[in-house]
């Protein structure tokens, strides 16, 4: 008997094709979508990326952070600071946003990893508050009341003229198109990067830590090293997305950039409702969130009450979320990471 | 002179933070649960008292007597029917549920009570002060501090001197073995959360009389409470008082230097203590 390890499932092959078609359709969105739709898609894509990084932390690393707004806000502020003070182009400055978030993540991890479980959660929140209060005192970027991106920086976006000529649109619309494409690139890179990572040995180790930390340690997984790696990756990604979101906004203030509702609560609802600890979950979650938001956003805060109750209900009665329900019924796995040993007879052809 | 005054004000402010934290500390000590909605429950209690004060026209202190049993019942129900279901080895579900609850409470209050700042009316008491040695001490801050000490003594007494306290300690040490001895851990947990909600109501009384409140201030109260619990050491109720005082003193000294630094200096002292003494100053629980 010979065996080989297989991760692909019957559903995953046609799904790859479908996924490729969806990504191509999304890449061509500026041709078929209105400006409003494009902005909605930007929201969906950026929230999906934030959710995937939080999912990586909470769902795989067991690190429930309520302080991700620290990285969103610092990434965004670093981008604004680089544009306003150093005159760097906004798109190049997005990368600096990620680097700034990474730089913050190192001391944060050193501090917060001393705390376990719930205490880690509130500890990260304290760090986010400290960063918010410090940034509020940074007068060069507007202090507590915030600032706008300089006009010439917004108009000097790379490729703006070409897009304006290509689609024959005005500057504001061309800017939306460029930022939308950036968001699409970041999201595709996030989802595929995460999937590729989970299929490596490190990813297997991470999944083992998620399922049972004691058992994972007993077979030689260095759980502490995994936690560091996951925390730093998530911080870098979150910083990039924060910079991108506020480049699209064009305006920043400490309250908006470090909002726990916008950057942690929504992300948390996406992951919980969709299904924590899977790649498919946040994708479903963000679509559900967007549908609910379109339908109920006019009810203001009641909408958030409903989301909160939904998240509590899902945690109590369907802890694996909507995707968990679907995959339990159908056995579907669109981003398969589970390694299955297929035993085959030596007389048969090798795969 | 200014130094002593700032110190005294800081210690008294610490009393308020200790009141915020005492309920959190009790619940953590007994069932290792951190309720992320704790701050929002304080704000909810403050609105409940405001409702009673407005409708019945009584003083906030009378409203406390009416609201405390209601909050006890709320805590009992919350623990019995929601939080008990998520207690366990995995820390994720209780965090998710209480974070969801925090969002629910905050936004329900926002819709029903609006975002306006409110205050519990307490007449002249708010501005009254007593000359105490070299410094003038506000009556309300002093009452807050003494209440905090009284609450902590009462909790300590319940915990170590009563049959209920023995059950608390038993389920805290080992819920399974306590269950074998005829205790139902889940009922005990519900009682503990109920008691914590009474403390929350007392905290809300002083919060509401001393300063304005609105639906959004809960999370910041949770953070102060949490910092006090951690600085004091997990599971130590007197440590929680010490933790509250440290945060209070740090904040008043920060504010004395520059008003913008008030909150920040509290957070920084917390981080500093945690770096030097990761288990807090007076740790009791080992887990």
Q: Which domains does chain B have, with CATH numbers?
A: 2-276 (1.10.3470)
- pLDDT (tens digit, 9 = 90+) per residue, B83-119? 999 988 777 889 889 999 999 999 999 999 998 999 9
Position A305 scores a pLDDT of 93
Strands A2-6 and A340-344, sheet pairing:
antiparallel
- pLDDT (tens digit, 9 = 90+) per residue, A323-337? 999 988 887 888 877
The yes-or-no verdict on residue A347 having pLDDT over 80 is no
With an 8 Å Cβ cutoff, are B268 and A130 in contact?
yes
- pLDDT (tens digit, 9 = 90+) per residue, B51-61? 999 999 999 99
Q: At what angle do helices A117-136 and B218-232 cross, to 10 degrees?
A: 120
Summary mean pLDDT of chain B:
91
Decide which of A59 and B215 is more confident: B215
Secondary structure of residue A344 in the 3-state scheme: strand
Average pLDDT over residues B196-209: 96
Percent of chain A at pLDDT above 90? 50
With an 8 Å Cβ cutoff, are B260 and A304 in contact?
no
Position B281 scores a pLDDT of 86
Secondary structure of residue A338 in the 3-state scheme: coil
Position A170 scores a pLDDT of 81
Secondary structure of residue A260 in the 3-state scheme: helix
Per-residue CA distances from A97 to A227, A248, B38 (Å): 22, 14, 33
Position A1 scores a pLDDT of 58
Position B51 scores a pLDDT of 96
Ranges of each domain in chain A? 12-268
- pLDDT (tens digit, 9 = 90+) per residue, B232-264? 987 788 899 999 999 999 999 999 999 889 999
Position B287 scores a pLDDT of 46
Contact A231, A63 (CB under 8 A): yes
Spatial distance between the Cα atoms of A110 and B123, rounded to a whole number of angstroms: 49
With an 8 Å Cβ cutoff, are B107 and A130 in contact?
no
Residue from A51, A7, A4 nearest A269 by CA: A51
- Kindly compute the dihedral angle of the four CA atoms of residues A161, A167, A173, A179, in this order, to the nearest 10 degrees: -70
Strands B135-138 and A340-344, sheet pairing:
unpaired
The yes-or-no verdict on residue A341 having pLDDT over 80 is no
Secondary structure of residue B136 in the 3-state scheme: strand
For residue B97, give the nearest of A261, A301, A316 by CB distance: A316
Q: How many beta-carbon pairs under 8 angstroms link A with B?
A: 119
Average pLDDT over residues A259-265: 89
Position A289 scores a pLDDT of 92
CATH of domain A12-268: 1.10.3470
Please, which residues 103-122 of chain A have a Cβ atom closer than 8 Å to chain B?
A: 111, 114-119, 121-122
- pLDDT (tens digit, 9 = 90+) per residue, B151-186? 999 999 998 999 999 999 898 888 888 889 888 989
DSSP A294-331: HHHGGGTHHHHHHHHHHHHHHHHH-TTHHHHHHHHHH-
The yes-or-no verdict on residue A156 having pLDDT over 80 is no
């Amino acid at each position: 008997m010979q065996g080989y390890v297989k991760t692909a499932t019957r559903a995953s092959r046609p799904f790859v094709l479908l996924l490729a078609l969806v990504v191509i359709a999304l890449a061509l969105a500026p041709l078929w979508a209105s400006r409003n739709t494009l902005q909605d898609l930007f929201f969906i894509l950026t929230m999906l990326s934030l959710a995937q990084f939080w999912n990586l932390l909470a769902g795989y690393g067991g690190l429930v952070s309520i302080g991700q707004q620290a990285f969103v806000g610092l990434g965004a502020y670093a981008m604004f600071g680089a544009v306003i003070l150093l005159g760097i182009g906004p798109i190049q400055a997005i990368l600096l946003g990620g680097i700034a978030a990474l730089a913050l993540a190192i001391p944060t991890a050193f501090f917060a990893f001393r705390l376990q479980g719930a205490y880690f959660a509130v500890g990260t929140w304290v760090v986010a508050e400290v960063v918010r209060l410090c940034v509020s005192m940074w007068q060069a970027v507007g202090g507590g009341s915030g600032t706008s991106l300089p006009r010439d920086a917004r108009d000097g976006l790379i490729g703006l003229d070409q897009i304006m000529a290509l689609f024959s649109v005005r500057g504001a619309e061309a800017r939306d198109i460029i930022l939308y494409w950036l968001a699409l690139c970041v999201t595709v890179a996030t989802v595929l990067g995460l999937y590729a990572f989970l299929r490596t040995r490190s990813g297997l180790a991470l999944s083992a830590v998620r399922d049972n930390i004691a058992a994972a340690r007993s077979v030689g997984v260095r759980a502490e090293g995994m936690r560091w790696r996951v925390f730093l990756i998530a911080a870098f990604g979150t910083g990039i997305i924060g910079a991108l979101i506020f480049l699209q906004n064009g305006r920043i203030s400490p309250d908006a950039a470090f909002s726990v509702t916008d950057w942690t609560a929504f992300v948390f609802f996406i992951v919980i409702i969709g299904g924590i600890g899977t790649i498919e979950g946040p994708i479903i979650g963000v679509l559900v969130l967007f549908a609910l938001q379109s339908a109920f956003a006019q009810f203001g805060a009641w909408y958030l009450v409903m989301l909160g109750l939904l998240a509590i209900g899902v945690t109590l009665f369907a802890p694996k979320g909507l995707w968990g329900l679907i995959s339990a019924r159908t056995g579907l796995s669109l981003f398969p990471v589970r390694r299955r040993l297929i035993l085959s007879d030596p007389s048969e052809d090798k795969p | 002179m200014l130094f002593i005054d700032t110190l005294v004000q800081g210690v008294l402010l610490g009393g308020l933070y200790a009141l915020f934290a005492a309920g959190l500390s009790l619940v953590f000590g007994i069932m290792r649960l951190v309720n992320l909605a704790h701050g929002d429950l304080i704000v909810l209690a403050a609105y409940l008292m405001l409702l009673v004060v407005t409708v019945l026209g009584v003083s906030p202190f009378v409203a406390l007597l009416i609201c405390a049993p209601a909050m006890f019942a709320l805590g009992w129900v919350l623990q019995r029917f929601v939080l008990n279901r998520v207690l366990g080895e995995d820390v994720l579900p209780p965090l998710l549920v209480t974070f969801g609850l925090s969002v629910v409470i905050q936004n329900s209050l926002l819709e029903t009570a609006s975002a306006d700042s409110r205050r519990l009316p307490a007449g002249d008491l708010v501005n009254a002060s007593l000359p105490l040695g070299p410094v003038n001490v506000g009556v309300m801050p002093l009452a807050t501090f003494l209440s905090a000490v009284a609450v902590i003594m009462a909790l300590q007494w319940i915990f170590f001197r009563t049959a209920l306290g023995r059950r608390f300690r038993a389920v805290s040490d080992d819920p399974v073995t306590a269950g074998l001895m005829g205790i139902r851990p889940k009922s005990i947990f519900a009682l503990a959360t109920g008691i914590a909600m009474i403390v929350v109501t007392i905290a809300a009384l002083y919060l509401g009389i001393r300063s304005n409140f609105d639906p959004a201030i809960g999370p910041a109260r949770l953070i102060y409470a949490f910092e006090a619990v951690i600085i004091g050491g997990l599971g130590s109720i007197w440590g929680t008082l010490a933790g509250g005082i440290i945060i209070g003193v740090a904040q008043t000294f920060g504010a004395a230097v520059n008003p913008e630094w008030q909150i920040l200096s509290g957070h920084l002292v917390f981080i500093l203590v945690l770096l030097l003494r990761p288990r807090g100053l007076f740790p009791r629980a080992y887990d």
